[in-house]
Amino acid sequence: MQTQALPVSSFELQPPGQISLIERLLYRLGHRQQRQRWHRYLQQRFGQDFRAVDPGPVPPVKLIAKTSAMDQAGLNRQANSDLYFAGGYHIAANWFAILEHFSINPRTIGSILELGCGTARNLRHFRCIEGLRLVGSDVNPEMIDWCQQHVPGIEFYINELQPPLAFAQPDSFDLVFALSVFTHIPLEWQQSWLEEIRRVLRPGGIFLCTVVGKRHPHWNYLTGEERAEYERTGRLTLTSSSPSASLSTQVGGSGWDIFQKRSEVISVFGSVFDLIDYIPGAQDVLVLAKPGGGWLPHTPYPGLAIG
C-alpha cells in the first residue's frame, strides 16, 4: 500500500534538563498516590482477578520526545520516571471512570486495543487484570520494537499511516483507546481510520479518543496567521517544519499537529459512531460507540477530561 511519507524535520533534539528537588519529590508522591488509587480500584472491581504487575522500565528519552512532549520544558518533566508512571496510572483510572459513568461494567471487557500505543505508557497498567487481552498498535517501528522487548503480556503490531490494521477478523475488540492520535492524523485520513476502528470493534463496542481541546497549551504557540486560518476554515494542520508545531512533531514522532473546531469533530466522528459524550479538557475526550449496542441516554460526564 502506498502512503504519504512523514514530513521531514531538521529539528535537533536537546537532552532533557534538570528539574528541581521539589518537583522530583512531588512527582514521587504523585506516582505513589496514583499507583495506589489504580490498584485499589482494580482490587474493588476485579477481586481475585487483580494481580500486581511490575510496570517495567521507562523508555529512552528519544522515544518519550516523540510521544508526549509539547516543548523542551515538557520533555524535562516527562523524562522523570515518577511522572511518566503517575501519568499512565492517572489516565487509566480516569478513562475507566468515564466508562463506569456510562454504565459500562469493566468486568465485561475482554479485549482492549490501543491505537497509537507509543511506549505503552497507559496500556501496560491494564496487565493487572487477569485474562484481559491487550493489544497495542503504532506507526513507529522503533516504539513497537522497544515495547516487544520491555513490556511483556501485550500483543504489539506495527500499523501503516493509513488503514487497514493488522486484524483481519472484524468485531475483535470490546474497547479501543486512541490517546493523542487523532490530534496527529491528517484530516483527509480521519474518515478511513474511523471506519477501520468501527470494523474491529464489536457491535456496541466503545471507542475513547482525544482531540485538541480549548484548554490545551498548544494554543499559546500558534501565530496570528494560524489562528486566523483556524477561525476561517474550522481546521488547522501544522507539519514538522512549522515553528508552532509540538516538540514531538518536530522531532519526527507524529508528523502533523491537527486542530479542529468542535462542530467539525462532531460532524466527522458522529458520521461513523454514536457520539455518547464530548468531554472538554486540555484534550477533549470523545466517548463513542459502534452502532448496534442499544445505547440509552445518560447524563454528561461531570468535570473535565483527563488525557
The contacts of residue 228 (CB under 8 Å, 6+ apart) are none
Task: State the Cα–Cα distance between residues 237 and 256, nearest whole angstrom.
Answer: 7
Burial 257-283, CB ≥16 within 10 A → b, else e: bbbbeeebbeebbeebbbebbbbbbbb
The mean predicted confidence, pLDDT, of the chain is: 90
What are 287's strand-pairing partners? 208, 277
Cα(144)–Cα(149) distance, integer angstroms = 9
pLDDT tier at 244 (50, 70, 90 boundaries)? very high
250 vs 47: which has the higher pLDDT: 47
| Nearest one of 211, 182, 210, 202 to 194, comparing CA atoms | 182
Residue whose C-alpha cell reads 454514536 in the numeric block: 274
* For residue 7, pLDDT beyond 50: no
Question: CA–CA separation, 257 vs 180, rounded Å?
Answer: 10
Distance separating alpha carbons of residues 158 and 137, to the nearest angstrom: 6
pLDDT of residue 2: 34
Report all structural domains of the chain as residue ranges with CATH numbers, in order of start: 21-289 (3.40.50.150)
Tell me the pLDDT tens digit for each residue of 145-195: 999 999 999 999 999 999 999 999 999 999 999 999 999 999 999 999 999
Residue-wise pLDDT tens digits, 208-228 = 999 999 889 999 999 999 999
The Cα-based distances of 29 to 26, 214, 306 in angstroms read 5, 29, 19
Distance of CA 99 to the CA centre of its chain: 15
Q: Are 177 and 114 in contact (CB under 8 A)?
A: yes
Query: For residue 13, what pLDDT band results from cuts at 50, 70 and 90?
Result: low
> pLDDT at position 252, please?
67
AA identity, residue 108: T
Joined grid coordinates for residue 21: 528537588
Triad 248, 278, 36: Cα angle to 5°: 65
Is the per-residue pLDDT at 304 higher than 70?
A: no
Name the pairing type of β-strands 283-289 and 201-212. Answer: antiparallel
Residue with cell 524535562: 76
